Structure 1
Amino acid sequence: MSCLAWNCHGLGNWRARIELKELIQAKDPLVVFLSETWSKKDQLEKIRCNIKYAGLFVVPKQDVGGGLALLWKHGVTVWVDSFSRFHIDAKVHGGSADAWRFTGFYGAPDAQDREDAWAMMRLLNSKPHLPWLCMGDFNEILFTEEKGGGRIRPHCQMQAFRDTLDVCGFVDLGFTDPEFTWNGNRHGHIIWERLDRGVANHDWLEKFPTATIRHLHYVELDYRPLLLILDPNGESQRWKRKPFRFEEMWLADRGCSDTVLRAWESQPRGQPMFWVSTKLKKCKKMLKAWSKDHFGSVKKQIVQKKELLWKAEEELANGGSHDSVVELRRDLNVLLDKENHMWAQRSRIQWLINGDRNTGYFHGVATQRK
Structure 2
Amino acid sequence: MDTDQQLTLKLFNCSTDLDMIVTLVYAKCDRMERIELWDSMYNLASDMTLSWIVGGDFNVIVEEEEKYGGLPVTLNEVEDFRHCIQTCNLSDLGYRGSIFTWWNGRAADECVFKRLDRCLGNFELQQHADFLQVVKDNWQTDVVANSFMTFNVKLKKLKKVLSQWSKLTYGDFFQNITNLEEVIKAHEALFEADPSNANREELQ
Aligned position for 2:122: 201
Establish whether residue 161 from structure 1 lines up as the match of residue 81 from structure 2: yes
Aligned position for 1:84: 3
TM-score, normalisation: structure 2 = 0.58
Aligned position for 1:148: 68
Counterpart contact for 1:107–1:137, Cα < 8 Å: yes
Alpha-carbon distance, 1:179 to partner? 1.5
TM-score, normalisation: structure 1 = 0.33
Q: Note the alpha carbon deviations across 1:235-283, whole angstroms, 9 max, x for none.
A: 9xxxxxxxxxxxxxxxxxxxxxxxxxxxxxxxxxxxxxxxxxxxxxxxx
Counterpart contact for 1:150–1:186, Cα < 8 Å: no
Aligned partner letter, 2:71: R
Alpha-carbon distance, 1:92 to partner? 0.9
Q: Distance in 2 between matches of 1:200 and 1:125?
A: 11
Q: Which runs of 4+ in 1 moved over 4 A?
A: 185-188, 231-235
Alpha-carbon distance, 1:199 to partner? 0.3
Q: Note the alpha carbon deviations across 1:270-308, whole angstroms, 9 max, x for none.
A: xxxxxxxxxxxxxxxxxxxxxxxxxxxxxxxxxxxxxxx
Establish whether residue 110 from structure 1 lines up as the match of residue 30 from structure 2: yes
**SS in structure 2 at match of 1:115:** helix
Q: What percentage of residue pairs aligned between the two structures are identical?
A: 27
Give the alignment partner of residue 45 of structure 2, picking from 125, 129, 153.
125
CA gap 1:181/1:166 in 2 versus in 1, 3 angstroms? same
Q: Distance in 2 between matches of 1:108 and 1:120?
A: 14
Q: Distance in 2 between matches of 1:104 and 1:190?
A: 28
Counterpart contact for 2:27–2:59, Cα < 8 Å: yes
**SS in structure 2 at match of 1:162:** helix
Q: Which structure features the higher share of helix residues?
A: 2
Q: Distance in 1 between matches of 2:48 and 2:32?
A: 30
Q: Distance in 1 between matches of 2:4 and 2:101?
A: 21
Counterpart contact for 2:8–2:21, Cα < 8 Å: yes
Counterpart contact for 2:49–2:124, Cα < 8 Å: no
Runs of 5+ unmatched residues, structure 2: 132-161, 173-204
Q: Note the alpha carbon deviations across 1:14-45, whole angstroms, 9 max, x for none.
A: xxxxxxxxxxxxxxxxxxxxxxxxxxxxxxxx
Q: Structure with the greater relative contact order (CA < 8 A, sep ≥ 6): 1 or 2?
A: 2
Q: Distance in 2 between matches of 1:145 and 1:128?
A: 31
CA gap 1:116/1:186 in 2 versus in 1, 3 angstroms? farther
Matches within 5 A, 1:51-62: none
Q: Distance in 1 between matches of 2:13 and 2:43?
A: 21
Alpha-carbon distance, 1:94 to partner? 6.8
How many positions carry a matched residue from both structures? 133
**SS in structure 1 at match of 2:104:** strand
Alpha-carbon distance, 1:155 to partner? 1.2
Q: Distance in 1 between matches of 2:28 and 2:56?
A: 12
Matches within 5 A, 1:258-337: none
Q: Distance in 2 between matches of 1:105 and 1:150?
A: 24
Q: Distance in 2 between matches of 1:186 and 1:162?
A: 28
Q: Distance in 2 between matches of 1:98 and 1:129?
A: 12
Counterpart contact for 1:136–1:196, Cα < 8 Å: yes
Larger Rg: 1
Q: Distance in 2 between matches of 1:185 and 1:110?
A: 20
Counterpart contact for 1:173–1:198, Cα < 8 Å: yes
Alpha-carbon distance, 1:190 to partner? 0.7
Runs of 5+ unmatched residues, structure 1: 1-81, 210-230, 236-370
Matches within 5 A, 1:221-232: 232=163
RMSD between aligned residues: 2.6
**SS in structure 2 at match of 1:84:** coil
